Amino acid sequence: MKRPARLTKRMIDDIAARLSEGKRVRRNMPRWGRLHVDRKLPFLCVYRRQHEDDAGTGALITGEASYLLAPGGRTHREGVLDLTRAAVSALSAEFGGFLILEIWEGAPPEENSRRVARADIKIHVSRTRRPEAAVDALQAALDRARIMKRKPNVEVVEGRSVHPKGRSPLLPAAVARSLECHIVGIEISPVYRNPQTGDLYPSVHRAVKRALGRALRRCAFEFSQRETRFHPEHYHMMGRRAVVKAVWDVDRRLAEVSGAFDYLLALTPVNSHGAWLQFRRSSYDRAPVFHYRPAGFDPALLKRQLFQIPLERIEDPSLANLFREKQDELARQITMIDDRETRRFLPGSLQVFGTVDDELADTAETILSRVAPRTRGNGGKSLTPEECAARAREAIAEYRAVHPGFRAKARVREDIPPGMLVSRGSLLIGARSRISESRMASLVHHEVGTHLLTYYNGRAQPFRQLYSGLAGYEELQEGLAVLGEYLAGGLNRSRLRLLAARVVAVKSLVDGASFVETFRVLHRGHGMDRRAAYNVTMRVHRSGGLTKDAIYLRGLRGLLAHMAGDPDLDLLYVGKIGLRHVPVIEELMLRGVLNPAPLKPAYLDLPEAGARLEKLQRGIGLLDLLEGKRKRS
């Protein structure tokens, strides 16, 4: 959009009319300025540029729902003041009050080469017209903030005027009073910029922007509650709803990179059965040779495509952080596929999936010691792969009846190891699978009722990342899937034993054990039969050492801790997210950026699930699940 040379009366009148009608306004201002108001709100964040080399200060408010970036020179002064008065006049009458939050740059912090400077923040208020509750909320939020692990110095300064030195007030006192408009100034030292070169410290700038943004929204929320007729339920509702083109572009391009490879299939051997026969012929003394699908992409070219995605164009700090995490994870996954069967693979796996902490290792060992090696479920006949696919298709049809967008397929594949996995919205079943009928119901809840359900719930959201998966989503996914087995009554002692064995195998791998040594730990040390021990060892040692299998028990542990206290379960099923994403998902829901999930798991409606959920809400740990199973056995 072409930038105007100056603010004309016609332009200002047009903006005021759109604001009065509740229309979104996104206009370029003279020089580098911009006005963004995505809906009627009783506040406006303002920054008037002080000098040409003040990089980063104006961008601190561009994540807000209502902001004005304006040139600060004399040439544009009258136009900026007229625009401010027109905008306040258009909105104040509806709300019965209005708040201007003007930010400006203070003195640079003192240099200290040994640590990041502490931010100095001064809150400027009028002696005669001070919105007490809003100022208190702003100060409290900034006091709680941590910028690069340091608490800012926050001070409230009372004065006769509230504006930067050398600038005119945005509104004369009499005009502000007549419009029921309050003005609060925020002066912040530029800790986010190198004082010698003027270059930004990007990570510090992002931290300041996130902390300041939360404080501004809390301030505006409290002002709305006390000083206006607008009473939102939560301070996140003061945030942005409008999603601009840059966000859609980044989301699409990240999804294209993610869709260029199937990460799980790329790391899974295509000859798992043949490798088992080879291992058995060696009397279990030589590691088998695994074969993998050729990578259908050039890692260097795909990374180039990945890092050309302009994340810096995203103004919303919450979305920018989600996308930045995903970009980093995709780069690591591409590297892992390129590093298959090399010594570099395991360090990459540890970066993506982590390792086994001492507490988890001890819990796994306890489970293995308490549950007899030959503990079984309820028994019953074994189902063929086609029979398993038929059961899965029945469940898929039931979900599709509720949400037509649930277009999952169940397919039997020769190149899949025994068992099931979900890939890109389809359920894949190994052609050599033999699954007991009693176990099949739990697997349907695990694979269809969790993995496929969150995939298609994610497809109902505006962002592709919600179905391709936010960074680190697998741990919560597997925790939810195992939770589904528990709520449906299918998490038996042998299943817990298997999850514990996977943790022990990962610990063995990380400690430097070979394939054969890990196999012996499981078979000789913990009494697993040879084929089961092989399957676990194969999963953990594939591609060079994949630590992913520790996340099942670790994810369940984290989810049990989260469940204590009756959290909102709907948030967990909105798409493929991690537990650490729950606060930002809740924020985006409250802001109206995300939609409610169209599906919830069928196992939540089972008669026995209610009592089990109540037990979880009272707070239990992994070993409590084991004890509960022993009492009923």
CA pair distance 154, 131, nearest whole angstrom: 17
CATH number of the domain that residue 122 is part of: 3.40.50
Nearest to 251 by CA among 465, 469, 466: 465
In a domain, 177, yes or no: yes
Note the pLDDT of residue 632: 41
Task: Give the tens place of pLDDT for each residue, 327-343.
Answer: 999 999 999 999 999 99
In a domain, 67, yes or no: yes
Task: Give the tens place of pLDDT for each residue, 15-61.
Answer: 999 999 999 999 998 878 899 999 999 999 999 987 766 789 999 99
Task: Give the tens place of pLDDT for each residue, 97-145.
Answer: 999 999 999 988 776 655 667 899 999 999 888 999 999 999 999 999 9
CA pair distance 236, 365, nearest whole angstrom: 44
In a domain, 633, yes or no: no
In a domain, 224, yes or no: yes
In a domain, 3, yes or no: no
Full-prediction pTM beyond 0.85?
Answer: yes
Note the pLDDT of residue 633: 33
Instruction: Calculate mean pLDDT across residues 468-495.
Output: 94
Note the pLDDT of residue 567: 86
- Residue span of the structural domain in which 80 resides: 9-242
Question: 3-state DSSP call for residue 422?
Answer: strand
Confidence of residue 503 (pLDDT cuts 50, 70, 90): very high
In a domain, 115, yes or no: yes
Tokens 């919303």 correspond to 316
Confidence of residue 377 (pLDDT cuts 50, 70, 90): very low
Task: Give the tens place of pLDDT for each residue, 204-259.
Answer: 999 999 999 999 999 999 999 999 999 999 999 999 998 889 999 999 999 999 99
| Residue 30 and residue 76 in contact, taking contact as beta carbons nearer than 8 Å | yes
Instruction: Calculate mean pLDDT across residues 338-364.
Output: 97
Instruction: Calculate mean pLDDT across residues 604-620.
Output: 92
State whether the Cα torsion 615-619-624-625 is positive or negative: positive
Q: Indicate the number of domains in the chain.
A: 1
Confidence of residue 379 (pLDDT cuts 50, 70, 90): low
Which residue has better confidence, 71 or 534? 534
What DSSP line would sit under 22-81, residue for residue?
T--EEEEPSTT-EEEE-S--SEEEEEE---TT-TTTGGGGTTSSEEEEE--SGGGHHHHH
In a domain, 231, yes or no: yes
Residues with Cβ within 8 Å of residue 424, at least 6 apart in sequence: 259, 262
Confidence of residue 628 (pLDDT cuts 50, 70, 90): low
In a domain, 109, yes or no: yes
